[in-house]
Amino acid sequence: MDWQISEDTVPSAPITEADARLLRARPPVTGAWRDGDPVGDRRFAAFGAFRTESGQELPGIRLAYETWGELSPRRDNAVLVLHALTGDSHVRGSAGPGHPTDGWWGDVVGPDAAIDTDRWFVVAPNMLGGCQGSTGPASIAPDGREWGSRFPYLTVRDQVAAQVRLADALGIDRWAAVVGGSMGGMHALEWAVGHPDRVARLAVLSAPPTTTADQIALNSVQLEAVQIDPRFAGGEYYDAADGDGPHRGLALARRMALLNYRSPTELNQRFQRTWQSGKNPLGHGGRFAVESYLDFHGNKFTRRFDANSYLTLVEAMNSHDIGRGRGGVDDALARVSATTLVVGIDTDRLFPVEGQERIARGIRSTLDDTATLVPSDFGHDGFLIETHLVGRHLRRLLKT
């Protein structure tokens, strides 16, 4: 596969300048942010020893985070925004030094936006185990080497426990709202169940109460795609002599994931049976445009993510079960006291709306009687794309 920008790997729609910069060079061994890289808009909070649910210990952890707006004197206007599996702390702002891509929710968070930073103090951390400034497998261990395969197994509850430390360090006893989509929605739900007295409002977008067997199965083939890449080397690829990492495996995992994130309607309408670059598909080298689209996004992903972090975070997503050790899902949801908005995307095939409906039924203080459905052709990614519709519902929540 040609890892440079070419007609064969770029979809027909124009790419952004940020994408062009990202794709111009050969992929690095890891797309992780590393100490010594430009900091950008990140801030950092460092903490002492951290013990995971499984009993493993990190001697110290760090969370990267970004903020917008001003914390009120009473510290009662803080909103926690939690990113999805492959997101990071860069919710809004342009790509540039330290930030490989534009902010992922810039239409939702900002002045006069749904989460209005003229009113709210917004905090967005990069989750523990991630690769954009928080402690993860690409971070340097006490012995001077990357953690790599030695990095502990993490659960969603571990990641929320790290976020609790960040809230304590910022002096925020109670969030005015906790908002999260997809894996971030798992974190948001865990906050409201595990720390109900610290969450006044809750927004769970496109997330389930538990990760189902079907979803774990979909994740398992992505994990295998990364691990069977010979350059993965059991997770010890950072010092590869030729400077080449497990790009193909990671790109393939991303291509698989995109098939879950988008809907058949969108792919069929957008690409139909068109061919890339006008080539004859029945001859040698023929290529469908949708194949090129998947290649482009897989290629792009390797420039900003770390293969070991991908494994760590997918496995953490698999751990999600809000009812584990709490008497089951219904008993766990009954603990939530926050005024709650639950949003599902009607075409979501990764986390179908049945999961959001179960969450809404189980929480006594929901804004609506059931889950709020957002119509979209974009599938699971609709919560990131349908910003006008999603933002309208978030405004309703924040007015309560």
Domain contains 89: yes
User: pLDDT tens string for the chain (400 positions)?
Assistant: 333 333 344 444 555 666 666 566 678 899 999 999 999 999 999 999 999 999 999 999 999 999 999 999 999 999 999 999 999 999 999 999 999 999 999 999 999 999 999 999 999 999 999 999 999 999 999 999 999 999 999 999 999 999 999 999 999 999 999 999 999 999 999 999 999 999 999 999 999 999 999 999 999 999 999 999 999 999 999 998 677 899 999 999 999 999 999 988 888 888 888 877 656 656 566 678 888 888 888 999 999 999 999 999 999 999 999 999 999 999 999 999 999 999 999 999 999 999 999 999 999 999 998 999 999 999 999 999 999 999 999 999 999 9
| Tokens standing for residue 130 | 């991630």
- Given the residues 348, 377, 381, 393, select the one marked as catalytic: 348
pLDDT reported for residue 369: 86
- Annotated active-site residue 107? The verdict is no
Reported as half-sphere exposure (CB side, CA atoms, 13 A), residue 163 has a value of: 34
Instruction: Look up the domain containing 62 and give its range.
Output: 17-399
Domain contains 307: yes
Q: For 182-261, where are the E strands, in sequence order?
A: 201-205
- Given the residues 99, 187, 247, 380, select the one marked as catalytic: 380
- Given the residues 182, 263, 319, 376, select the one marked as catalytic: 182
Domain contains 349: yes
- Annotated active-site residue 348? The verdict is yes
- Annotated active-site residue 2? The verdict is no
Domain contains 274: yes
Domain contains 7: no
Measure the CA–CA gap between 306 and 286, rounded to whole angstroms: 31
Coil, strand or helix: which one is 273? coil
Domain contains 240: yes
CATH number at residue 203: 3.40.50.1820
pTM tops 0.75:
yes
Measure the CA–CA gap between 155 and 306, rounded to whole angstroms: 18
- In eight-state DSSP terms, residue 368 is S
pLDDT reported for residue 14: 52
Contacts of 302 (CB under 8 A, 6+ apart): 27, 31, 245, 247, 250, 251, 254
Tell me how many domains the chain contains: 1
Domain contains 9: no
Domain contains 270: yes
